[in-house]
Amino acid sequence: MKRKESLWGRELWTQQEVARHFRVSANTIKNWRRRGLFSYFVAPGSDRVLYYRTEIEHFQKTFTEWRKEEQKGQKHVGGVKPRLSSDNDWRIS
């Protein structure tokens, strides 16, 4: 837990640190970045991607609030509740 506290004190996080924080793979963070969900910083002449702590906080707050509302049954993505397809298929329609 002490490691998390020290991360919150830092302005920039590595991709691995963000992935560990959200408990997802580094590729998931890369996909979120490509979708524009995070602002990031790359130093000139470097390939290392760093993420702003404020962006991570904003993403986490937004995502957490959305999940809480969905769990209460108040909101769904696009206003439509997901349902299983009727032909005993595993896909969600």
pLDDT tens column, 63-91? 766 555 555 555 555 566 656 555 555 55
Yes or no: say if 8 and 53 are a contact pair by the CB < 8 Å rule: yes
Q: E-assigned strands of the chain?
A: 12-14, 40-42, 49-52
Fold of 1-56: Arc Repressor Mutant, subunit A (1.10.10)
pTM, full prediction: 0.58
pLDDT tens column, 35-62? 988 888 898 998 999 999 888 888 888 8
pLDDT tens column, 2-26? 555 566 667 889 999 999 988 899 9
**Mean pLDDT for the stretch of residues 27-33:** 92
Return the pLDDT at 49.
92
